[in-house]
Every structure is written in structure tokens, then in C-alpha cells.
């Protein structure tokens, strides 16, 4: 059955919430199906290739965290680095026996990760030696969203008013802007955006194209709000985005609290996490002793010995652990309450811990990266708001949705995008001065996605690789753009064995050569990035020894980041003109806007130009005299 896109603006209240609930149901089904499929894959290498499974792990270390959780550090049993994976900080996972497919495992949440170690917070001690970790369906998040939407349906007072505005039943008002004394040095459009957001009585949107200082601007909005006495909830859909905002906020607002899993928090920010603040509280010494005891009890329960009594002993120990955990929780609850109450700003992901925040409401709720939020994921935060500010860029990657059916009906469209389309310029302000890209790198994206409105700040407008210390001046380093066309050279895409993802060995070779030339010109490896839309191409490139220490990632892994030089391998090359998910040009927009001084794109014009957008992209490179044919390079 062909699904068609639904217009949420036309739906009545009940239909709107029913639709979102149905999408969540479809998404849950899709996630569960995917997990079941993955667990059926027998061959280790293939299971890990999904990026959602890590096999053959062992415990390297453990410690106790807040609320009696145990934090386990897992490493590969053979000492190798972890393979490329999508287990992020905050991802729900299941830890189970690597050798026993029937083991249902223990639920946990990823709390930290690096190349070699993945840390998972869980409540029980795994009972086997050789473990696997699988990304698990995110039921908790879905349950919380459903419960928020159930409350939103019957809400009264202010939440009801906001609901009516979001559902197109009541007009969103505009406010009269006051003079603002800015704390940070903002450009004109940023100042206008701050004043606009602060004056809006209901809902305001900040549209931040790449590198335009969206987070800087949001931080100023939050600072100003706190100055006038507001209590603020600052959210974002991912832990990384929350931490980026937190990093900007800390120098401006001292009383900031970061709740949620003690994430990839930078050293300088750790003092703001709930865990650390609780730790610093005087009553923590007692709690710490109790936690130590809990760990011991759990450890004994995992190894109850043999014999008839083993099960009884284990159950007794789990009983004791349960009691202990209860006592720890009640002590911690009091400490936590006072910390939460005294914060001016609370930072969290949009999956809000409702038990922690209780019925707390906020004068201002801010959602960063709001275009990566599905519509249903906004409601938890929106329900707590007197006034709502959303910031993001709908011309970059949309939220990840697994269910094709839900996606076809519109689940990938964010609320922020819908409101911009519905209400037009009255509801948003766009930031237009960017601090990242050379003017020529910016212009194509600006014309295609932002009505040509972007301006390069003069500090970056003309900057080139050869202006960097230690980099020599040559043709490669003097110019900001290059497209290498592989048409006619038979550098065809291939499908990874046993997989679905594509790679292109010919393009990879060209990437190696060009990256080599950049390094020979004096660039450091950490100033270069390679972006491929396909995971198989990323894997292929990461296996090239000449590219070691150069960051290589998918587009999705690169949103929000930048490098001095970026090489993109478009990967698709076939005689059917098939470009697959490159058709979603928002993904390409992200890829094209990561480079500060040099952007190199490698692709097959014969395949790409079947699509008008790529046709225009090729013309742009030609017009900037940045078009080269692969035949100008000698590939050995
Ligand atoms: N008014 C300004 N003056 C000088 N530099 C600025 C200004 N605003 C932002 N920047 C710089 O621009 C860069 C991008 O800022 P920020 O991280 O806030 O952007 P963003 O829009 O959130 O980024 P992204 O494109 O990743 O979403 C930062 O290095 C920041 O210091």
C-alpha cells in the first residue's frame, strides 16, 4: 500500500495525536524487526557491520554511578579497537552472552565511549565472560513521548494554549522588541534573533544555516532570559548537542545543571552534571558506602556458586540489593531535589526524565537542533513551557526514522519545519553571517538552500589552505574548490559482500592520492576530513593505511562539525543513473558545508547529473573553474 504524506496542520486534535502515536508504533515495530534480524546473523563480522552490535567484549573495569547503577567499561577481548558503530552516549542497549543467542540479556544505556572502550550503565552484573552489546529498541523514549502526548491532549491553561498554537487553532502572537544589552559580541542578524526570541510571548524559531553561530545565539538568549529572572529548560535531541550548548552556556550562566546520563562531558563541564553535584554534597559519603555495599551484593549474586541452594541464595541477594537500592534512591532523591530546584538552567536531552523534574514548569524552554526532532519528541519539553524557542536548520539532516511507512507519511518532518512553512517569516529569524567557509564554498549551498542570503564573515571569506602556518602555496592549497569527475573512467560502485551498502574502490584511490598531496603540502592529518555518504565506503577508506589518523565518517556522523579541508567521495557510479539516498539533497548540503578552506568532491557526473540538483552543482564547479576530469590524474 502506497502511503501518502499527511498534512498535520489540517488534522483535528485527536487525529493529530493519534497519527503521531501510530508513527511511534510503526517505528517501534521497525526497530524490533531490525534487532531480531541482526540477532539472527551468525557471522561475527556481518553482525558488527550493521553498526548496532559489538561482539566478543569483556569487562575491563567497573564503578558505581548515581542511583545504584553500575558503570561497566567493555573492551574487545582481543584488545583491538571497537569497530565503527552507532552506539552513542545515551543509546539504550542490551548486554548478553556472546555465545548464547537465547540469552535475553540485561538492559543498559551507553554512558561513555571512545575508540577502544564503551561504557554502559546498568543495574545488574552480567553473568557471562564473553559478551555482546546490541542497540536495543528505544521503548523508554517512546513511552515517555506517548505519555506526554496523552497529557497534551487533555491539558488546560498555558499548555493548552501552546497546543492550540502548534495545532493551528490559535494564532502565535508577536511581541514588541525591547533594547537588549548583549553580553557576547553578536553580529546584526544574531542580535535581531535574540531580541526577537526574547520578545516573543509564545513560540519563536531561530533558523541557523551552517556555521552561523546558532548555538552562540541561543546561549545569549538563555543568558538574557536568566537575567530577567526566567527559569530555563535547554534541550536537544542528542547528548552531543546538549553538551555543545552546555559548553557555550557555562561561561555565561553559573547555575547550569546537566541532567541525564553523565555523558561525554568535557573535563571543564563535569562539575555541572547532576552526578557530580550530588557527589559534592555532604550527605554523599554515606550514600557512597551504601553503593559500595550494593556493588558487592550484586557481584555475589552473579556468582552464587553451585548446588541446590544457589538459586535461593541468589534471590536473597537480589532482594537485599533491591532494599539497598531503595534506601540509596530515597537519600539521593532529597539531595537531587535541592540541586534541581536551585538551578537557573537545566540542560537535558528531549527525552526528559519526568520523575526527576516532577511537575516543574519553565518560563522558557529552548530546543536546539530542533530539526532533528520528530514531532512527537517535542511534546515532553513543550508541555513544560510558558514560552518555546526552537533552533535548527531544516535544510540539513532530518530526524532518523526507520519505518518507511511512517517516513512516507511525514514522520521525518520536524515541528520546527512545519511551523516555518505554515507561518512564514513572522515566526522565525534567520542567521545569515557564517564563520566557517570560504565564500566560494558557501555560495552554492546558500543559493540552493537559503535563497542566496548567506554572507561569509570577512575573517573567513577569502581564507585558503596556504594561509595556514606551515602549508605551502600550490594550486591545491590556493584554491577553495575542486570537483574531480570520474565519468568514463570505469570507477564503478560495488556492493559490499553480504551487505547492502556501497563502496567505490576507484574513488577511494583518488581520495588517498589527494589526501596525500594535502599532507605533502604541509597539512596536518587532523586538519583533514573525508566524508562518504555510504558506510561501506567509510569502512573501505578506514582500512587504508595511508589515511590513518585522518577523520573519515558518514555525513550523518559529521553534522555540526568542520575541518580545514574536506574531501567528499560521492561513491555512486553506475550506468542506470541511480543515486539512491543522495536524492535527499539535505544530506549533501551537510557534506558540502563542513569545509573551512578547501572542498574537494569526487563523483561521476554521468550518474549524478541524472538529478537536477547535482547538475547545478557540477555547473557551479565549472563556473568557478574548479572542474577536473579524473583523466588529468595518473592513478596507478
Ligand atoms: N558573532 C560572532 N563573531 C565571531 N565569531 C562567531 C560569532 N558567532 C559565532 N561565531 C563563531 O562561529 C562558529 C560557529 O558557531 P556555533 O557553534 O555557535 O555555530 P552553529 O550554527 O551552532 O554551528 P553548526 O553549523 O554546527 O550548527 C564558532 O567558532 C563561533 O565562535
Q: Tens digits of per-residue pLDDT, 432-449?
A: 999 999 999 999 999 999
Residue 275, C-beta contacts closer than 8 angstroms, at least 6 positions apart? 65, 66, 262
* Model ipTM value: 0.96
* Ligand 1 pocket residue status of 392, Cβ below 6 Å: no
Say yes or no: CB of residue 189 within 6 Å of ligand 1. Answer: no
Cβ–ligand 1 distance for 211 under 6 Å, the answer yes
How far is the C-alpha of 367 from the C-alpha of 237, rounded, in Å?
A: 8
Say whether pLDDT at 340 is over 60.
yes
**Ligand 1 touching residue 191 (CB < 6 A):** no
From 211, 455, 563, 591, the mutation candidate for ligand 1 (largest count of ligand atoms within 8 A of CB) is 211
First to last CA, the chain: 50
- Put the strands of the sheet holding 627-629 in their side by side order: 551-554, 528-532, 563-569, 595-603, 481-485, 627-629
User: 261 versus 502: which is more confidently predicted?
Assistant: 502
Note the pLDDT tens digit of each residue in 504-532.
989 999 999 999 999 999 999 999 999 99
Q: Which atom of ligand 1 is nearest to the CA of 219?
A: 18
Ligand 1 centre distance from Cα of residue 213 (Å):
3
Is the minimum distance from the CB of 19 to ligand 1 under 6 angstroms? no
- Whether 15 has a pLDDT exceeding 90, the answer reads yes
Helix (H) or strand (E) holding 76: strand 70-76
Q: Is 216 in the pocket of ligand 1 (CB under 6 A)?
A: yes
Ligand 1 atom having least distance to the Cα of 431: 21
d(CA 554, CA 568): 10
Residue with the smallest CA separation from ligand 1 atom 23 is: 211
Residue pLDDT, tens place only, 36-52: 777 776 566 677 877 88
Distance CA 468, CA 477 (A): 10
Residue 209 in contact with ligand 1 by CB distance below 6 A: no
Residue 18, pLDDT > 90, answer yes
224 lines ligand 1 (CB under 6 A): no
Instruction: Tell me if 262 CB under 6 Å of ligand 1.
Output: no
**Digit-coded pLDDT (tens) for 129-163:** 889 998 887 888 999 999 999 999 999 999 999 99
Q: Nearest C-alpha to atom 29 of ligand 1 is from which residue?
A: 435
Work out which ligand 1 atom sits closest to the CA atom of 216.
18
Answer yes or no: is pLDDT of 110 > 60: yes
Distance 457 CA to ligand 1 centre (A): 11
- Is there a contact between 192 and 154 (Cβ–Cβ < 8 Å)? no
Closest-lying ligand 1 atom to the alpha carbon of residue 369: 27
> At residue 198, does pLDDT exceed 60?
yes
| Ligand 1 center to 264 CA (angstroms) | 21
Contact 174, 426 (CB under 8 A): yes
What is 82-133 written as a DSSP string?
PPS----TT-EEEEEETT-TT---EEEEEEEE-SS-EEEEESS----SSEEE
Q: Whose CA is nearest to atom 3 of ligand 1?
A: 186
Highest-confidence segment of 307-321, 496-510, 593-607:
593-607
Percent of the chain with pLDDT over 70: 96
* C-alpha to C-alpha distance for 145 and 11, rounded to whole angstroms: 19
Q: Is the CB of 247 under 6 A from ligand 1?
A: no
Amino acid at each position: 500500500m502506497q502511503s501518502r504524506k499527511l498534512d498535520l496542520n489540517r488534522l483535528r486534535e485527536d487525529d493529530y495525536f493519534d497519527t503521531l502515536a501510530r508513527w511511534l508504533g510503526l517505528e517501534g515495530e521497525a526497530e524490533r524487526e531490525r534487532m531480531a534480524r541482526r540477532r539472527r546473523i551468525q557471522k561475527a563480522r556481518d553482525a558488527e557491520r550493521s553498526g548496532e552490535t559489538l561482539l566478543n567484549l569483556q569487562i575491563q573495569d567497573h564503578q558505581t554511578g548515581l542511583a545504584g547503577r553500575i558503570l561497566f567499561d567493555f573492551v574487545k577481548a582481543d584488545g583491538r579497537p571497537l569497530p565503527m558503530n552507532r552506539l552513542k552516549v545515551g543509546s539504550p542497549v542490551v548486554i548478553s552472552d556472546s555465545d548464547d543467542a537465547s540469552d535475553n540479556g540485561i538492559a543498559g544505556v551507553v554512558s561513555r565511549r571512545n575508540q577502544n572502550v564503551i561504557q554502559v550503565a546498568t543495574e545488574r552484573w552480567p553473568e557471562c565472560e564473553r559478551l555482546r552489546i546490541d542497540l536495543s529498541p528505544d521503548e523508554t523514549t517512546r513511552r515517555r513521548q506517548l505519555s506526554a502526548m496523552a497529557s497534551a491532549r487533555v491539558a488546560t491553561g498555558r499548555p493548552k494554549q501552546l497546543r492550540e498554537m502548534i495545532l493551528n487553532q490559535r494564532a502565535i502572537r508577536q511581541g514588541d522588541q525591547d533594547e537588549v544589552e548583549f553580553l557576547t559580541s553578536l553580529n546584526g542578524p544574531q542580535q535581531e534573533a535574540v531580541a526577537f526570541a526574547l520578545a516573543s510571548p509564545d513560540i519563536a524559531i531561530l533558523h541557523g544555516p551552517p556555521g552561523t553561530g546558532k548555538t552562540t545565539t541561543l546561549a545569549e538568549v538563555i543568558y538574557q532570559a536568566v537575567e530577567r529572572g526566567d527559569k530555563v529548560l535547554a534541550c536537544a535531541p542528542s547528548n552531543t548537542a546538549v553538551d555543545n550548548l552546555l559548553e557555550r552556556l557555562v561561561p555565561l550562566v553559573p547555575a547550569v545543571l546537566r541532567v541525564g546520563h553523565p555523558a561525554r562531558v568535557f573535563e571543564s563541564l563535569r562539575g555541572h552534571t547532576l552526578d557530580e553535584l550530588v557527589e559534592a554534597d555532604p550527605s554523599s559519603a554515606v550514600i557512597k558506602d551504601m553503593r559500595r555495599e550494593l556493588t558487592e551484593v550484586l557481584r555475589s549474586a552473579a556468582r552464587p556458586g553451585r548446588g541446590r541452594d544457589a538459586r535461593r541464595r541468589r534471590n536473597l541477594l537480589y532482594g537485599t540489593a533491591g532494599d539497598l537500592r531503595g534506601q540509596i534512591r530515597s537519600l539521593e532523591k532529597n539531595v537531587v531535589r535541592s540541586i534541581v530546584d536551585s538551578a537557573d538552567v537545566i540542560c537535558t536531552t528531549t527525552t526528559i526524565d519526568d520523575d526527576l523534574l516532577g511537575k516543574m514548569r519553565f518560563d522558557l524552554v529552548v530546543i536546539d537542533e530542533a530539526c532533528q526532532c520528530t514531532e512527537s519528541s517535542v511534546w515532553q519539553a513543550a508541555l513544560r513551557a510558558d514560552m518555546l524557542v526552537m533552533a535548527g536548520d531544516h535544510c540539513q539532516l532530518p530526524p532518523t526514522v526507520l519505518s518507511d511507512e511512517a517516513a512516507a507519511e511525514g514522520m521525518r518532518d520536524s515541528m520546527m519545519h512545519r511551523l516555518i512553512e505554515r507561518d512564514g517569516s513572522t515566526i522565525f529569524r534567520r542567521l545569515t553571517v557564517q564563520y566557517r567557509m570560504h565564500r566560494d564554498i558557501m555560495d552554492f549551498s546558500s543559493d540552493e538552500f537559503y535563497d542566496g542570503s548567506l554572507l561569509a564573515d570577512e575573517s573567513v571569506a577569502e581564507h585558503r589552505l596556504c594561509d595556514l602556518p606551515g602549508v605551502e602555496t600550490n594550486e591545491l592549497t590556493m584554491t577553495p574548490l575542486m570537483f574531480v569527475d570520474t565519468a568514463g573512467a570505469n570507477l564503478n560502485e560495488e556492493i559490499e559482500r553480504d551487505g547492502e551498502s556501497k563502496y567505490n574502490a576507484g574513488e577511494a584511490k583518488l581520495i588517498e592520492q589527494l589526501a596525500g598531496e594535502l599532507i605533502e603540502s604541509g597539512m596536518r592529518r587532523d586538519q583533514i576530513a573525508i566524508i562518504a555518504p555510504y558506510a561501506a565506503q567509510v569502512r573501505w577508506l578506514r582500512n587504508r593505511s595511508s589515511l590513518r589518523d585522518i577523520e573519515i565518517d558518514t555525513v550523518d556522523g559529521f553534522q555540526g562539525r568542520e575541518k580545514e579541508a574536506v574531501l567528499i567521495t560521492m561513491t555512486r557510479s553506475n550506468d542506470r543513473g541511480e543515486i539512491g539516498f543522495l536524492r535527499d539533497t539535505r544530506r549533501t548540503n551537510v557534506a558540502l558545508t563542513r569545509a573551512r578552506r578547501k572542498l574537494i568532491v569526487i563523483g561521476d557526473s554521468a550518474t549524478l547529473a541524472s538529478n537536477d540538483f547535482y547538475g547545478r552543482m557540477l555547473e557551479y564547479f565549472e563556473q568557478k573553474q574548479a572542474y577536473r576530469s579524473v583523466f588529468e590524474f595518473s592513478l596507478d
